[in-house]
Amino acid sequence: MRSRALLFMSALPIALLIAPSAAQAQRTVYRYCSDGNSRYYDCTYDRDISERAREAAARAREASARARAEARESANWARSYARSYDAAARADARNWERSLTRIRIQNEARIRANNARIRANELRDRQRDRARELEQQRRDRELERRDRERDRYYRRW
């Protein structure tokens, strides 16, 4: 038992000597780092801190890629919505223009029909007046003819 304890006690300083170097193996040392003022010093980084930093950077890259993709998708949606809204507005404008054209054509047709009716009424009135005049002239001629015959009849006596 004593030999075991002695062996253990003699191995303990060696283990302690090795232990800090095992901890040191987790560190990366870059010599001649500058602080910006031309002074050099040792830069030590813990490996797990640098891994965490790399993971955080990777997460940030993924997040920014997701954000870019979402922004691209949003922009595409906005563009397509604007296109569809623009197409609908153009269609509404075309329909409105067509309806105005249709209304204008209908109004022009109505005006032409009214003008034709007015002209037809005027023509009918002129023809009626002319027929009355002709009838009156015919009556007047008939009366004159009767008067002439009566005058001729009375002149014979």
For 38, phi then psi, to 5°, come to 60, 20
Q: Which of the four pLDDT bands, split at 50, 70 and 90, describes residue 52?
A: confident
Q: For the chain, state the CA radius of gyration.
A: 59
Mean of the per-residue pLDDT values of the chain? 81
C-alpha span between 139 and 131 (Å, rounded): 12
pLDDT surpassing 70 at residue 35: no
The residue type found at 5 is A
For tokens 């870059």, the residue is 30
pLDDT tens column, 79-99: 999 999 999 999 999 999 999
The pLDDT of 8-32, averaged and rounded, is 55
**CA 136/CA 102 separation, integer angstroms:** 50
Residue 152 pLDDT class (50, 70, 90 cuts): confident
Asked if residue 145 has pLDDT above 60, the reply is yes
Q: Which of 32-36, 60-64, 104-108, 122-126 has the lowest mean pLDDT?
A: 32-36
pLDDT cut 90: percent of the chain above it: 58
- 33-35-39 Cα angle (round to 5): 80
pLDDT at 30: 47
Give the pLDDT confidence score for residue 144 in this predicted structure: 92
Structure tokens at 100: 């105005």
pLDDT of residue 92: 95
Given a cut of 70, is residue 15 above it in pLDDT?
Answer: no
User: For residues 12 and 144, which has the higher predicted lDDT (pLDDT)?
Assistant: 144
pLDDT value at residue 45: 54
SS3 of 71, please? helix
